[in-house]
Amino acid sequence: MRYIDLRSDTVTQPTPGMRKAMAEAEVGDDVFGEDPTVNKLQERVAGKLGKEAALFVASGSMGNQIAINCHTRPGDEVICEANCHSFNYEGGGPALLSGVQMRPVPGVRGAITAAQIEEAIRPPDHHFPQTRLVVLENTHNRAGGAIFPIEEMERIRALAERKNLRMHLDGARLWNAHIATGIPLDKYAGFFDSVSVCLSKGLGAPVGSVLVGSKAFIDEAHRYRKIYGGGMRQAGILAAAGLYALDNHLHRLADDHLRARQLAECLASFPNVSVDFDACKTNIVIATFKSDFNTAEFVAKLKERGVLAIAFAKDRVRFVTHLDVSEEDVKSAIAVLRQILSEEAAGH
Report the DSSP beta bridge partners of residue 273. 289
Q: What is the pLDDT of residue 185?
A: 98
Domain 14-247, architecture per CATH: 3-Layer(aba) Sandwich (3.40)
Residue type, 265: E
SS3 19: helix
Tens digit of each residue's pLDDT (9 = 90 or more) over 137-186: 999 999 999 999 999 999 999 999 999 999 999 999 999 999 999 999 99
d(C-alpha 195, C-alpha 187), whole Å:
12
Question: Looking at the domain that runs over 252-347, which CATH code has it been given?
Answer: 3.90.1150.10
CB atoms under 10 Å from CB of 304, counted, come to: 11
Q: 11: which DSSP letter?
A: G
CB atoms under 10 Å from CB of 37, counted, come to: 26
Tens digit of each residue's pLDDT (9 = 90 or more) over 216-275: 999 999 999 999 999 999 999 999 999 999 999 999 999 999 999 999 999 999 988 999
Strands 130-137 and 307-308: unpaired
Q: Where are the domains of the chain?
A: 14-247, 252-347
User: Residue 348 pLDDT > 70, yes or no?
Assistant: no
Buried b (16+ CB within 10 A) or exposed e, 205-229: bbbbbbbbbeeebbebbbebbeebe
The pTM for the full model equals 0.96
